[in-house]
Amino acid sequence: MYKIVKAEKLADKIYLMDVVAPRVATHCEPGEFVIVKMDEKGERVPLTICNFDREKGTITIVFQTIGASTTRMAELKEGDSFMDIVGPLGNPSEFVHEDLEVLKKKKMLFVGGGVGAAPVLPQVKWLHEHGIDVDVIIGAKNKEMLILEDEFKAVSGNYYPCTDDGSYGWNGMVTTKIEDLVSQGIKYDECVAIGPMIMMKFCCLLTKKLEIPTIVSMNPIMVDGTGMCGACRLHVGDEIKFACVDGPEFDGHLINFDEAMKRQAIYKTEEGRKMLELQEGDTHHGGCGVCGGDK
């Protein structure tokens, strides 16, 4: 059992929890994720590691209530426990293995949308701890939906909050703030964008036009997190990748976002899963246990 030592509501339908998971905390790096399971009947829910404390043996997860499982998770309190936590899964952010002196010469921009701010934070924090301050744009529908503001202010070189309704910070989408900063003469060597697929798509369309290399963290449907089920299948350039084992981070300018978003929508129905099985042939793993491709 994995005990919850902190449970907090950050915004409407967005929750933060600190969970005791010593082995995960010891080995995890920015960019990786875990899969949590509440109990024997619970669904396997993939969540990015928002923060970790190796000394305390805790990890921080942030999630948004969407379906039945995350709604049940939101009811957990301090002192409750998860039955299982598997991780760290996926691959750490590429910069973790880069030469620090090379990194210090880069001008980096991080863009987060909604709950996507959570996986941005550990990356920005890691860079700050290694003497590298980056610019951060975080977008939300309104001021009440912005999360982790104090944490970002503490570790960012420059922090730019954006709200769709103009209730706080920059009035407009994160893409318009990117354009604003670039129009001021700021030249970015790299951008990292994490959030809803539609947001990442339009960030990448813009940064490609601006010739800014861009990394995105993909969040398609996942089931087992080990590459067996094939649910998180993606087209990256001419290659088929699986977000859970090949990612979750990829070159955003190579991602087929339209296909990924369409696939995510139709995968939710039995008829849609059968159609994917037919269309994808041998590249459809079928190990999800629900589409019948594994039989």
CA atoms of 55 and 242, how far apart (whole Å):
32
34 and 143 together in one domain? no
What would the mean pLDDT of 129-155 be, rounded to a whole number? 94
The pLDDT assigned to 280 comes to 60
Range with the largest mean pLDDT of 39-43, 84-88, 291-295: 84-88
Question: Is 6 a residue whose pLDDT tops 80?
Answer: yes
Residues whose CB is less than 8 angstroms from the CB of residue 230 and which lie 6 or more positions away in sequence, other chains included: 242, 283, 284, 285, 286, 287, 288, 293
Range with the largest mean pLDDT of 13-17, 221-225, 236-240: 13-17
Q: Is the pTM of this model over 0.75?
A: yes
Share of the chain above pLDDT 70, in %: 86
- Residue-wise pLDDT for 26-79, tens only, equals 999 999 999 898 888 777 888 889 899 999 999 999 998 887 788 888 999 999
119 and 213 together in one domain? yes
- Residue-wise pLDDT for 255-284, tens only, equals 988 888 887 776 555 445 555 565 566 665
67 and 103 together in one domain? no
259 and 168 together in one domain? no
107 and 33 together in one domain? no
68 and 112 together in one domain? no
71 and 109 together in one domain? no
Is the separation of the CB atoms in 17 and 6 below 8 Å? yes
Among the residue ranges 40-44, 108-112, 172-176, 235-239, the one predicted with the least confidence is 40-44
The last residue of one of the domains, among 89, 119, 140, is 89
Range of 51's domain? 2-89
Q: Degrees (nearest 5) of the Cα angle 266, 117, 133?
A: 140
207 and 293 together in one domain? no
240 and 152 together in one domain? no
The pLDDT assigned to 278 comes to 55
The pLDDT assigned to 52 comes to 92
209 and 102 together in one domain? yes
- Residue-wise pLDDT for 93-140, tens only, equals 989 889 999 999 999 999 999 889 999 999 999 999 999 999 999 999
85 and 7 together in one domain? yes
Domain of residue 183, CATH code:
3.40.50.80
What would the mean pLDDT of 138-148 be, rounded to a whole number? 93
CA atoms of 249 and 247, how far apart (whole Å):
4
Q: What is the mean pLDDT of the chain?
A: 86
Total domains in the fold of the chain: 3
138 and 161 together in one domain? yes
The pLDDT assigned to 146 comes to 92
The last residue of one of the domains, among 35, 69, 89, is 89
CA atoms of 175 and 199, how far apart (whole Å):
8
